[in-house]
Structure 1
Amino acid sequence: MDNSAYRIDKKRVRDSFGRAAASYDAAAIMQREVFERMFARLDLVKLAPQVILDAGCGTGLGTSRLAQRYKNSRVLALDIAPPMLQLAAARQPWLSRLAWRSRQAFVCGDIEALPLEDGSVDLAWSNLAMQWCNDLDLAFRELHRALRPEGLLMFSTFGPDTLMELREAASADPAHTHVSRFLDMHDIGDALVRAGFKDPVMDMERFTLTYDDVRGLMRDLKAIGARNATEGRRRGLEGKSFLQRLADNYERFRRQGKLPATYEVVYGHAWKAQPHPSLPGGAQPITLHRHK
């Protein structure tokens, strides 16, 4: 299938996450677990950020925790879906909300077109949001632009084996896309380097959620807003015959009475280098090697 079929429809993403805002926290079990593992990695870096960007903040779990950890910082919460931002802004108890909001800003925007000034952020944080970008190179360039020199980017996203069972089961309808394509960890690392980041560190782990039936998986995906947003999706409702074939195909993966849903989670962090003082525009020196 042509790659354009996997292009993400951003309006669909915005609408899906907006509708899922109220149900997101109850269903986002894996997203919380990935957040906790990512958050623990902050213990390994020395950082005292003045300004933090939570890119793809959702309902504000990360925004709140980052503000608590870095009490002297200002946290910018950015999300593409306004209802998510509204919940993030209302997350704190009312007694502390006024003081907490004085250190926050809630911005509706897209990671691929950040509404931020150059060099305005010390820590760019993004938990399971980068997979909704169409151009990862552009997204990393935007994050690089927004970071100050020696600023840190820390993120998680999905790798290619994510929802591999659902992808295979959905091959019952080869004319349409049903699951997004996700980039390999090494390709993501290469994109970081192309964007100008230094010392990228990448690793990966797998999570498996289990369900009694396919309907349970589909309900969870709908509840967190992770609907099929690819341009090659079927427009309108899926027919009963396809849904039955999907369920039948998925049965081949049943183990010990449960259906698995695999998630390959890629973690990465990298630093923005200091510009070279002797070259204009922060350009970096190039060393040429003579081949004999």
Structure 2
Amino acid sequence: MMDEYQIDKARVRASFHRAADSYDASAILQQEIRDRMFERLDLIKLKPATILDAGCGTGHASLALGKRFSGSQVLSLDIALGMLQKTLAQQPLFKRILGLNRAAAICADIEQLPLANASVDLVWSNVAIQWCNDLDQAFGEMHRVLRPEGLVMFSTFGPDTLKELRAASSTDPAHVHVSRFIDMHDIGDALVRAGFSAPVLDVERFVLTYDDVMSVMRDLKAIGAHNAAAGRPRGLLGRGFLQKLTAAYEQFRSEGKLPATYEVVYGHAWKPAHSKTSGVSTVEFHPKKRSV
């Protein structure tokens, strides 16, 4: 039986390729999450020689990682060619700031990394693994390419993400309108199954506000976050559905605005020097206060 939440990777690739030009202007939340990941990285002692930015988008984290870990080699990987072209457009910055003659860009899927075993010291992934169909496969690949005592550090979205849109779109129960997101504890279990040691995870919630539901949809389109589930509606959404969606979303209006909730899961774990694994730790992290 078909899994209606199965991600269509061809659609993901095409959607993010088309969104490359509009991504940076709209990806405010993704930028904030990236900054908070770097705050967490401040607490970790690490001197990586080779870094994989898995799901690099337009390459800003790749550049920042190269600046932070001077002398390291940064490999920027994304499933969408358009995103990699934006990353390569920053090549003069890579050359001037990092001393690299050429940025290393790889067009590939996180679930099938085209890298040698034990070839990188840090795998970094900012809000990308939610586009994976098999989290065990993705973490298994990250574990494979990491050297012993290497670190994986990531963020992704949890089950409360877009809960308002999910509820409002239930007026069309025959189709999937919002992707399925994995619970923090299940993510921790997957890390352990992949062979990582003592994963540490925490969660934050962000609420973006909009004037109307179509603005929510336009923001998602601008960053390439199209509905890629196998059970999605095919073809254009009818006016009747959009009217029902708009009416159903209104129940969440507060202080004149419509909310869009994002549950963000952060995690990191080490590849042990040996095969020993241990349980999951959940921590409370208190980042610097910022408005989004």
Q: Which residue of 1 aligns with 2:31?
A: 32
Contact kept? 1:89, 1:101, Cα under 8 Å: no
Matched residue type, 1:247: T
Contact kept? 2:48, 2:69, Cα under 8 Å: yes
SS of equivalent residue, structure 2 residue 220:
helix
Q: Which residue of 1 aligns with 2:52?
A: 53
Counterpart-to-counterpart distance in 2, 1:254 and 1:201:
35
Identity percentage of aligned residues = 65
Unpaired runs of at least 5, structure 2? 279-292
CA offset at residue 101 of structure 1?
4.2
SS of equivalent residue, structure 1 residue 5:
coil
- Classify 1:3/1:192 alpha carbon distance in 2 versus 1 (closer, same or farther; 3 Å): farther
Counterpart-to-counterpart distance in 1, 2:252 and 2:139:
36
Where do 1:135-284 residues align within 5 Å? 135-275=134-274, 284=276
Contact kept? 2:6, 2:230, Cα under 8 Å: yes
CA offset at residue 91 of structure 1?
2.0
Contact kept? 2:157, 2:181, Cα under 8 Å: yes
User: What is the TM-score when the length of structure 2 is the normalising length?
Assistant: 0.92
Counterpart-to-counterpart distance in 2, 1:119 and 1:37:
27
Matched residue type, 1:254: R
TM-align CA RMSD: 1.8
SS of equivalent residue, structure 1 residue 45:
coil
CA offset at residue 224 of structure 1?
0.1
User: What is the TM-score when the length of structure 1 is the normalising length?
Assistant: 0.92
Counterpart-to-counterpart distance in 2, 1:95 and 1:104:
7
Unpaired runs of at least 5, structure 1? 276-282, 287-292
CA offset at residue 95 of structure 1?
9.3
- Classify 1:172/1:67 alpha carbon distance in 2 versus 1 (closer, same or farther; 3 Å): same
Counterpart-to-counterpart distance in 2, 1:26 and 1:34:
15
- Classify 1:152/1:95 alpha carbon distance in 2 versus 1 (closer, same or farther; 3 Å): closer
SS of equivalent residue, structure 1 residue 48:
coil
Counterpart-to-counterpart distance in 1, 2:253 and 2:98:
50
Counterpart-to-counterpart distance in 1, 2:94 and 2:202:
40
Counterpart-to-counterpart distance in 1, 2:55 and 2:96:
21
Q: Which residue of 2 aligns with 1:68?
A: 67
SS of equivalent residue, structure 1 residue 216:
helix
SS of equivalent residue, structure 2 residue 237:
coil
Structure with max Cα Rg: 1
Counterpart-to-counterpart distance in 1, 2:243 and 2:42:
47
Counterpart-to-counterpart distance in 2, 1:10 and 1:95:
29
- Classify 1:141/1:252 alpha carbon distance in 2 versus 1 (closer, same or farther; 3 Å): same
Matched residue type, 2:149: E
- Classify 1:98/1:48 alpha carbon distance in 2 versus 1 (closer, same or farther; 3 Å): closer
Counterpart-to-counterpart distance in 1, 2:109 and 2:277:
32
CA offset at residue 42 of structure 1?
1.2
Q: Which residue of 2 aligns with 1:5?
A: 4
Contact kept? 2:55, 2:79, Cα under 8 Å: yes
Counterpart-to-counterpart distance in 2, 1:53 and 1:103:
15
- Give CA-to-partner distance per residue, 1:251-280, whole Å, 9 cap, x none: 0000000000000000000000112xxxxx
Counterpart-to-counterpart distance in 1, 2:77 and 2:147:
18
SS of equivalent residue, structure 2 residue 156:
strand
Paired residues, what number? Answer: 278
Q: Which residue of 1 aligns with 2:110?
A: 111
SS of equivalent residue, structure 1 residue 176:
coil
- Give CA-to-partner distance per residue, 1:105-146, whole Å, 9 cap, x none: 100000000000000000000000000000000000000000
- Classify 1:22/1:162 alpha carbon distance in 2 versus 1 (closer, same or farther; 3 Å): same
Counterpart-to-counterpart distance in 2, 1:184 and 1:94:
37
CA offset at residue 160 of structure 1?
0.2
Q: Which residue of 1 aligns with 2:282?
A: none
SS of equivalent residue, structure 2 residue 268:
strand
